[in-house]
Each structure stands twice: as C-alpha cells, then as structure tokens.
Homo-oligomer: A and B are copies of this chain.
Amino acid sequence: MLTLILAEAALETIPEELWSHASVRRHSKRRRKSPKQLILDRSLHHLAMKRIGNDLKRGRPDITHFVLLEALGSPLNKEKLLRVYVHTNQDYIITINPVTRLPKNYTQFIGLMEQLFEHEKVPHEGETLLDLKHKTLQQFFSETKPSYVLAFSTQGKSKTIQDVVSVIQPMKNPTVIIGGFAHEHFKEETARRANEIVSVDSEMLEAWTLTSRLIYEYEKSISLPTKRLHKPC
C-alpha cells in the first residue's frame, strides 16, 4: 500500500482580502455565487492576487485536478493499493475515496471543489467520496503514523525514482509527499515531516509527472503491470 500526499496544494476559496476586487466581483456575479464560495484561480484572479502574500504558491487548482486524475486512474488505485490525500496551503486535508471518479472537465472539477469547501464532504448523501477537514500535516501524521515519509523537492538529495521506490516499497506504510504548487519550495513545517527529501531531476518536474512516475515505479516494484496483463478478463 502506497500513501500519496499532495502537500501545500494551491487550492482554496477566494480569501476575504480579495472579495472587493473588481475581477473577483465580476466572476462572482457571473457564477451567481458569493466570492467566498468560489475557488481561487490565478487565470481569473491574477491581478487581484497581487494583494495577498505568497501569491506565487496559490491559485492553481489545476495542479490538484491533474494529479488526482493521474492517481485515481492508475492501475495501483484500481487494485486498491493507493491512498491519496490532498493537504492544502491553508491546512485542510482532503481524504479521497479510491472509488471516486473525478470529472475530467476542469470547470466541473472546480464546481465539485466549491461544493467540497462549502459542505466539507461530497456528495451530500450516501457514501462519502471527498471529505475536507481543517488539519495540519503534523496532526494528520500523528493520526496515520506513516512508517516512513519521503518528499520530492529539487532541494533534496539526488536519487532516481526507481531507487526511491526500491527503498520504500518493502516498508509497511510508506508515504510520499509531492508539492501541489508551481513555484518555490515546501514550508519548513512540511519539510520537517519528511524522513528523507529527494530530488529526481535537475529541473522541477510538474506534480502530475512526478505522481505518474512514482505510481508506475511502485506498480513495477510489485510486478503489477505483468500481473494485470495475465489477469483473466
């Protein structure tokens, strides 16, 4: 079983400082929702975002979208050998039911995230697919007690993904942290949670590329590609 955490993900509702900005008010009117019900998106709120701190690390819900599509569509997830969580830049933890079929369409995904931030779970009734709780990574780890936590960062020690996986795969409950943002690095409080920080390329890889490669190497380390090919249909 592999646990993947997309950490400090650039996914949040529009912060109060921006509610009065013209671009936010226009967006709010068009969507017929109040600004606090809308997801912050750099492509829409770029100008407004200059008002907030740390703006380069925020407003990129597309990263979470692509990472989740890569993770949930993987054979590893179909075999129920993957657990995926999103930790946001504002310390929310989203728990994702492995049977979730996320919308592939970005606009629909944003609609789903708006519902999630408003109601803290999706769907309203029946089996919960997505669940949102205000929680730090530290609180999360004190509950889940991972045996080993590895984080990917260009600031880490050089190592290939294959080498990383050969070390963590035999462990009982290994957890891998991937950054859910486009610029800069992990906060000190996130980096401190990792037993090891590893850099797998000379340049920063996109979060979805890292996700896909990590999951694939993990599948290979347990011979899943061959096993699934020989599975009776």
Q: Which residues of A contact B (CB under 8 A)?
A: 41-43, 60, 62-63, 66, 69-70, 73-75, 78, 103-108, 158-162, 182, 199-203, 205-206, 208-209, 212-213, 216, 220, 225-226, 228-231, 233
Query: Which among B43, B103, B208, B231 is the interface contact of A202 at CB below 8 angstroms?
Result: B231
Asked whether A43 and B201 contact (CB < 8 A) given A70-B208, A212-B209, the answer is no
Query: Which among B158, B202, B228 is the interface contact of A201 at CB below 8 angstroms?
Result: B228
Complex Cα spacing A228 to B199, Å: 11
- Taking each of A199, A202, A220, which has the highest tally of chain B beta carbons within 10 Å of its own beta carbon? A202
- B contact residues around A231 at 8 Å (CB): 202
State the Cβ distance, A12 to closest chain B Cβ, in Å.
17
Tell whether, in the assembled complex, residue B203 and residue A75 are in contact, meaning their CB atoms are under 8 Å apart. Answer: yes
- B contact residues around A229 at 8 Å (CB): 158-160, 199-202
Tell whether, in the assembled complex, residue A209 and residue B73 are in contact, meaning their CB atoms are under 8 Å apart. Answer: yes
List 25 A–B pairs whose Cβ atoms lie within 8 Å, in order of A's numbering.
A60-B104, A62-B106, A66-B69, A73-B206, A74-B209, A75-B201, A78-B203, A104-B182, A106-B107, A158-B230, A160-B226, A160-B229, A161-B225, A162-B220, A199-B229, A200-B225, A200-B229, A202-B229, A202-B231, A202-B233, A203-B228, A208-B212, A209-B212, A212-B213, A216-B216
